[in-house]
Amino acid sequence: MKVIDTHAHLEELNDVQRALAEAREAGVIKIVGVGSDSKSNQRILALAKQFSEMVVPALGLHPWNLEHDPAEEIKFIEVHIDECIALGEVGMDYWIDRDQELQRRTLETILKIAVEHDKPAILHSRGAWQDVFELVRESNIERAIFHWYSGPIDLLHQILDLGYYISATPAAEYSRHHQRAIVETPIERIVLETDTPVNYRGMEARPVHVLRSLNAVAKLKELSPEEVAEITTRNAIQVFRL
Ligand SMILES: [Zn+2]
The pLDDT of residue 24 is above 90: yes
Task: Give CA–CA dist 229/110, Å, rounded.
Answer: 31
Q: Percentage of the chain with pLDDT > 70?
A: 100
Give the C-alpha distances (Å, rounded to integers) separating 121 from 6, 46, 176, 200. 12, 21, 25, 24
Distance 12 CA to ligand 1 centre (A): 11
What amino acid is encoded at 226 in this protein?
E
* Segment 180-225, tens digit of pLDDT: 999 999 999 999 999 999 999 999 999 999 999 999 999 999 999 9
CATH numbers and ranges of domains, the chain: 3-240 (3.20.20.140)
Look over the chain and give the mean of its residue pLDDT values, rounded to a whole number: 97
Task: Give CA–CA dist 144/48, Å, rounded.
Answer: 21
* Residue 78: predicted pLDDT: 98
* Residue 68: predicted pLDDT: 84
Distance 89 CA to ligand 1 centre (A): 6
What are phi and psi for residue 126, nearest 5 degrees?
-55, 120
| Alpha helices by DSSP H, the chain | 16-25, 38-50, 71-79, 100-116, 129-139, 153-161, 176-184, 210-221, 225-240
Which H or E run contains 28?
Answer: strand 28-34
Task: Give CA–CA dist 7/135, Å, rounded.
Answer: 21
* Residue 11: predicted pLDDT: 97
Task: Give CA–CA dist 144/155, Å, rounded.
Answer: 15
Task: Give CA–CA dist 147/105, Å, rounded.
Answer: 20
Distance 195 CA to ligand 1 centre (A): 5
Q: Percentage of the chain with pLDDT > 90?
A: 98
* Segment 121-156, tens digit of pLDDT: 999 999 999 999 999 999 999 999 999 999 999 999
The pLDDT of residue 178 is above 90: yes
Q: Which residues have CB under 8 Å from 15's CB, separation 6+? A: none
* Residue 206: predicted pLDDT: 98
* Segment 65-93, tens digit of pLDDT: 998 889 999 999 999 999 999 999 999 99
- Helix, strand or coil for residue 32? strand
Distance 8 CA to ligand 1 centre (A): 7
Task: Give CA–CA dist 136/144, Å, rounded.
Answer: 8
Distance 193 CA to ligand 1 centre (A): 9
Distance of CA 5 to the CA centre of its chain: 9
Distance 128 CA to ligand 1 centre (A): 15
pTM: 0.97
Distance 34 CA to ligand 1 centre (A): 7
Q: How confident is the model at residue 19 (pLDDT cuts 50, 70, 90)?
A: very high
The answer to whether the CB of 8 falls within 8 A of the CB of 31 is yes
The pLDDT of residue 117 is above 90: yes
